[in-house]
Structure 1
Amino acid sequence: MPTYMGSILNFDIKKNGSLSAVPYLVMWIFSIFISWVSDKALERKMFSIGTARKIGNSIAHWGPGLALIGLGFAPSDDPMLPLGLLILSVGLNGASFVGFQVNHIDLSPNFAGTLMGITNCVANIMSILAPIIAGKIAPNTEDADQWRIVFFVAAAVYFVFNLFFVIFGSGEIQPWNNPAPKNDNEENSVEQSDGNKRKNFSGESGE
């Protein structure tokens, strides 16, 4: 984003640094607001948990996707419109906190930390690949047409992956959240095996 703002919108480096932080400030504020709205909707039973998560995730992904498409067609000679679309595309990401991010707890309260670790690892891999791919698509950072392709690719990723979430996502606790307890025979077998190991170890130590 700072590269686009500097190369295409021609913001100087000082303004660029401050303006680059604005979208994330908007995202933070919006995440607080949308979290409150989502909780109120769930309290009033307006939606199921799964539906609420899908709505939040759609706002966080399809909203920015549309903003990026608009950004691809926005004239660069008037920087305020592209800047507004950039702020909108990042700011709406705040709804992801009531979308897929909190969905880990919905699916498995017992393994939410593990799930978050897995998904966050994948997300960080994508964050590494994204600038590399963008650099391949737009090697000339001053070419608005190349940036348009970058925005369209990002919008497509937003659309496809959120569509997958909308179709297959769930707000229900999964069966594997509570592993089946071992039966008495298995427990006795384990205890007997442990006892034999201790006896063998004691015998070897005595020798």
Structure 2
Amino acid sequence: MFFFLRRFQTAALIFFGLTVNYMLRTNINIALVEMTNVNNTFGPYVNLTEFGGGEDPEQNKKDGEAQVKSAFFIGYMITQVPGGRLAEIYGTKRVFGICMFFCTLLAAITPIFSYINMEATSWVWLIWTIRIFQGLFEGVCFPSLHILVSKWSPEKEKGTFLSSYLGATFGTVVTYPMCGVILAYLSWTWVFYITSLITFVWNVLWFLFVFDSPEDDKYISEAEKEHIISTRTFNAKQLEADMATPIFPVLWDMIKTPAVWVDMMGQFCNGFGLYVLITEGPAFIKNILPIGDDIVLNGVIACAPSLSRVIIGQIAGGISDALIAREKISKIWMQKINATLAFVIPASGMVAMSYLTLEKTQYVCIAVLTITYGFNGAVLSGHIQNIMSLAPNRSGTLYGITNGFGNISGFLVPLVKAWIVTDVESIDDWRNLFFIAAGLYIFMAILFILCASKDVQYFNSKDYSSQTTSEYVKTSCFNFTRHTAEKDFKV
């Protein structure tokens, strides 16, 4: 049976690793509601109305919350490229596992500082610092996984294997209702303690049962190992040379490549819409929908689009693999179809839901949001799979570049929301925010259809050993000639 296959077990641990990863990333978004609520009956009250010393207490509070929410992404963007490169050299098992362990410790100590008597501004900057360090540790995670998937996934199973990344979305499915229940019956501090404990359990399983490649796995059967090695696009013979490759020349060649910029924009546009719903979704539901006053129900509703995304994403990955395996469609056109589904349908949903917020249509609003955003799960078999297609051997570094650029949106969304949504009870303000996200989605669908590349790019196998970084800067850094994929490396 397939659950006895080591590649399935590895994919499962990736899935749940990203689940707890997102627990630690998003727990503070819903905990902030009670942390800053003067009427909360459990746990310490964090008064942000004096943050920054402004005259408007509510604006001070909004500014403080925006700083706390956005801090994570400052650190998160910094370690994207190093994370992918470190995994290519030292292995995903160590890089992902160790960083998640330290992120767990930071989450566990976060509530402690709320018991210390300090002014609002000091508290915000302290938590701001903790969130930056959490971002630094979590920033390595997705890029480090791309090289692991490249080593473990047969080419015809790549869409299904990459669907394990939907564990991140499943993390929001679990976190919002779980935190809602915790906040209803316990102190908000337990939001951090419980998510930290769950992550620690996963951490133990990760170190016990994950290996960096089928060749290193002591539990895998010979038949499965030979099947993976013979059907993957990863070239193990290039691994030793890759470990000695200087980072700057590879990065510069990647940044100069137009096909890479298509996927970078994919990550940015996708991230913007994703964070509008994940980071700001609970506030929209609470302040706009009549049923949003129920904190437990608020958490359940907020997770519905993410659950839909997990389900549809898994289906899209399976169907894509089946159609490609039967040669019904080329890989690049399957990726373009998935990208269209992942961007156009959710864009339509975000526009529609902003007109369905009255009491008599609020359940229709939730249904539209849930169903349409679910199609964004196809993004894993769209531009994200395309990232691996461009550079199977150096996919960790490449994913670090694309995801690092993409997560600029995570830093921007809370700030853009604070600027546009000046009145959290104004549907017109929220509608403007949704229109911006929808516009980015439509733009990205068109860009990917017209410009995405099917070819493995030249930097995937280029030998950089003859040049140091300084020599490469002198000879190539200011040469902006357009590079094209080598024809010998077509997927």
The normalised TM-score by structure 1 is 0.83
1:177 corresponds to: 460
Counterpart amino acid of residue 123 in structure 1 = G
Which deviations, in whole Å up to 9, do the C-alpha atoms of 1:17-56 show, x marking residues without a partner?
1121121111111111110010011112222111111111
Where in structure 2 are the equivalents of 1:54-203 lying within 5 Å? 54-77=336-359, 78-180=361-463
Deviations 1:159-184 (A, max 9, x none): 1122212111012212222115879x
Measure, in 1, the Cα distance between the counterparts of 2:400 and 2:372. 25
Deviation above 3 Å: which 4+ runs of structure 1?
A: 180-183
Matched, 1:15 2:297: yes
Cα deviation for residue 113 of structure 1 reads: 0.9
CA distance in 1, matches of 2:464, 2:418: 52
Write the distance in 1 (CA, Å) between the matches of 2:414 and 2:327. 41
Q: 1:29 aligns with which of 300, 311, 327?
A: 311
CA distance in 2, matches of 1:182, 1:115: 19
Partner secondary structure for residue 411 of structure 2: helix
Higher relative contact order, chain-length normalized (CA < 8 Å, sep 6+): 1
- Cα distance in 2 for residues equivalent to 1:46 and 1:113: 30
In the alignment of these two chains, the number of paired residues is: 184
Find the counterpart in structure 2 of residue 192 from structure 1: none
Return the alpha-carbon distance in structure 1 between the equivalents of residues 448 and 394 of structure 2.
19
Give the Cα separation in 1 of the matches to 2:463 and 2:399: 23
Distance 1:181 1:175 in 2: 12
Residue segments in structure 2 that go unaligned for 5+ positions in a row:
1-280, 468-491
The SS at the match of 2:422 is coil
Does the CA-based 8 Å contact 1:107-1:177 persist in structure 2?
A: yes
Max Rg structure: 1
Alpha-carbon distance in 2 for matches of 1:147, 1:182: 52
User: Conserved in 1, the CA contact under 8 Å of 2:341 and 2:375?
Assistant: yes
Taking every aligned residue pair, what percent have the same amino acid on both sides? 29
CA distance in structure 2 between the partners assigned to 1:89 and 1:15 by the alignment: 20
Counterpart code for 2:456: I
CA contact (8 A) 2:289 2:357 kept: no
What is the letter of the counterpart of residue 25 of structure 1?
L
Structure 1: segments with no counterpart, 5+ residues: 187-207
